[in-house]
Chains A and B, each alone.
Chain A
Amino acid sequence: MTQEADLKELGQALHRRLLTKQDGRVTAEIAEVFLPLLANALHRKFPNLPDPHQAETVAIDSLLRYFAQPEKFDPDKGSLIGYLYLAAYRDLLNLLKHSQKFVELHPRALEHEVSVAVGADNPEAHLLEEASPIVQRALAKVTDPIDRELVALMMDGVRETAAYAAVLGIADSPLREQEKIVKRHKDRLKKMLQREWQRRDHQRR
């Protein structure tokens, strides 16, 4: 599967979750995946903006509009990143037209531009990890491979006990037992990271 296809599929999945309005995490997931990509793509497209933060501001505006009215995006017509990019691109063009400094007449193939901005040959998991600096930073604190997998599952919003049980090798235990063990491991990891952060915070001060 190509990276564009991965991104499109991911965007559709997140969009479906956003529409349900019952998933608290999805907005953060969308922002962490798509906002940096969007801002990078705009930066590449408009490298010489008079205000260097204009691309970021427009990217954020585009995302906020999507959060407010997600139903305006039609997944059958294109990818989510393409939709966000197009909206941001138009906003930026309008801004520049108003300031009469730059006029772009031929917008190029958006999917292509986004994929160039993202990079060439990353698999999806790597893409997600790269795109989310928050996940990256948390994982940097965890050295044990099993703990890393557990933290990654938690930060990916996985709620099923079975997924954690599989990583911990307790899939054969009774469900109640699995739930107890998984909860214990989650709490332990939170505490461990909390201590790490406290230490870092203490060092900073």
Chain B
Amino acid sequence: MKTDEPSMQLLTALAQRLRSDPQFMAQVLAVYQREEQLDDAALARSLGTAPEMMTRLALCRRPDAHAPDFTEQVRALADYTLIDEARLARVLQRVDQLAEADALPHSFRARLLAGVRTALAALAPARVSWLAGAVCLVFFAVTGVLLWRVYHRTSAPNIAQQRPQPTATLPVPAGQRSPAPNDTTAPHRSEPVASASPPRRVSASRPATVIAKIDLEDYPVLREAGAAGGEGAKAIQLAPARARLLLRLPESSASGWYRMSVVDESGRTVATTRARSVGGQRLSASLDLRGVAEKSYRLRLARAGEAPDDYPLSISRSKMLREK
């Protein structure tokens, strides 16, 4: 096929030319792409569409955020480009936020400059010498204060440098005591957790997410209650972290809502979530396993109104998979 390839290239070239025109969606997409560091394919993926639809979107005019029918305009664009309207609205919102953030320092700087200009204009030439004297006085005063502070800092005992460095707080397994701050007998460690793996700093703003692709056909279904994982049974391996599970469901599974839980040997649920399978083949869900002790569990999968299926699960730090 590909007889339309030259036409597509032509439209893509036009879209490229419009990337600097703020009246067009091409510019919105360019800004979003730059900020999110996405290439063309990743941008299309993030909007859940094909690259040619991105071209069509780029050729559209940008909806006016202040127009009373802004929502309707976004909806119209979303239908026209077969893109989910919520995703499109998010992109527009993000780019608007960026534009506002950019505009803020400029306006502040402009106001500051205007203020300085006004102040300078207000100063009469006769007062310049008086002003120069005042500036020198302030300069000497500030320099003196700074020198005094530097002298006192260097002569004072350096207590601050002996403080332990702040560390990421990770869950402490049951039964293990973390060393008290004044406990000088305890060995100095960067993490209060006994672990064979090297210390790992956890970002507070964006916790690590582990992606686990699991084919449930590969694991035995545990029917009897009691023993968590089942001795010797092949178990799903997960790390005690925030996990995104991409499950391939067993054959003849039904579509619909599923409850996914991590259950310990006493039947207590330690983590749970809900997820929807559209075709009955795959299920994607997030489970927060941070703070869950390292041992054997059951991964329980239950569809509304049906008996749950349990799979052996082992949570262990050493089984850290790929980090997102």
**Could you list which residues of chain A lie within 8 angstroms of chain B, going by C-beta atoms?**
22-28, 31-32, 35-36, 39, 56-57, 59-60, 63-64, 131, 133-134, 136-138, 151, 154-155, 157, 159, 186-187, 189-190, 193-194, 197-198, 200-201
Interface-located stretch among B2-10, B202-210, B235-243, B263-271: B2-10
B62 within 8 A of A: yes
Chain A residues with CB under 8 Å of B50's CB are 137-138, 193, 197, 200-201
User: What mask results when residues 47 to 88 of chain B are scored 1 for a CB within 8 Å of chain A, else 0?
Assistant: 011101101110111110001000001001111101110000
A-B contact pairs, 10 of them (CB 8 A): A28-B60, A28-B80, A35-B14, A39-B6, A56-B10, A154-B80, A155-B82, A159-B79, A190-B48, A197-B53
B142 within 8 A of A: no
| Chain B facing A: main interface SS | helix
Which residue in A151, A187, A194 is a CB contact (below 8 Å) of B49? A194
Least CB distance, B244 to chain A, in whole angstroms: 17
Total B residues in contact with A, Cβ cutoff 8 Å: 39
Contact A32 B17 (CB under 8 A): no
Contact A25 B76 (CB under 8 A): yes
A135 to B, closest residue via Cβ? B56
Contact A190 B84 (CB under 8 A): yes
Chain A residues with CB under 8 Å of B41's CB are 201
Which of A134, A136, A159 has most B Cβ within 10 Å? A134
Chain B residues with CB under 8 Å of A131's CB are 7
Chain B residues with CB under 8 Å of A138's CB are 50, 52-53, 82
Q: Complex formed: what's the CA distance from A187 to B17 in Å?
A: 31
Contact B76 A27 (CB under 8 A): no
Which residue in A136, A137, A194 is a CB contact (below 8 Å) of B84? A194
Q: A25-B60, A154-B82 are in contact. Are A197 and B10 (CB under 8 A)?
A: no
Contact A63 B73 (CB under 8 A): no
Contact A32 B83 (CB under 8 A): no
B44 within 8 A of A: yes
Q: Complex formed: what's the CA distance from A201 to B43 in Å?
A: 12
Which residue in A24, A26, A134, A186 is a CB contact (below 8 Å) of B52? A134
Contact B48 A194 (CB under 8 A): yes
B13 within 8 A of A: yes
Least CB distance, B75 to chain A, in whole angstroms: 9
Contact B24 A134 (CB under 8 A): no
Chain A residues with CB under 8 Å of B52's CB are 133-134, 137-138
B111 within 8 A of A: no
Which of A23, A27, A64, A201 has most B Cβ within 10 Å? A27
User: What mask results when residues 252 to 266 of chain B are scored 1 for a CB within 8 Å of chain A, else 0?
Assistant: 000000000000000
User: Given A35-B11, A154-B79, A197-B48, 19 other A-B contacts at CB below 8 A?
Assistant: A23-B61, A24-B77, A25-B60, A25-B77, A27-B24, A32-B11, A35-B7, A36-B6, A56-B13, A59-B10, A64-B18, A133-B4, A134-B52, A137-B4, A151-B82, A157-B76, A200-B50, A201-B45, A201-B50
Q: Complex formed: what's the CA distance from A57 to B78 in Å?
A: 29
Chain B residues with CB under 8 Å of A31's CB are 11, 14, 59
Chain B residues with CB under 8 Å of A187's CB are 84
Least CB distance, B120 to chain A, in whole angstroms: 41
Which residue in B17, B44, B60 is a CB contact (below 8 Å) of A24? B60
Contact A60 B17 (CB under 8 A): yes
Which of B5, B67, B77, B82 has most A Cβ within 10 Å? B82
Q: Complex formed: what's the CA distance from A64 to B10 in Å?
A: 13
The 6 closest A-B pairs by CB, nearest first: A133-B4, A28-B59, A36-B7, A197-B50, A194-B48, A24-B61
Chain B residues with CB under 8 Å of A201's CB are 41, 44-45, 50
Q: Complex formed: what's the CA distance from A85 to B83 in Å?
A: 33
Contact A60 B60 (CB under 8 A): no
Contact B82 A133 (CB under 8 A): no
Least CB distance, B147 to chain A, in whole angstroms: 61
Chain A residues with CB under 8 Å of B13's CB are 56-57, 60
Least CB distance, A10 to chain B, in whole angstroms: 17
Q: Complex formed: what's the CA distance from A28 to B27 in Å?
A: 14
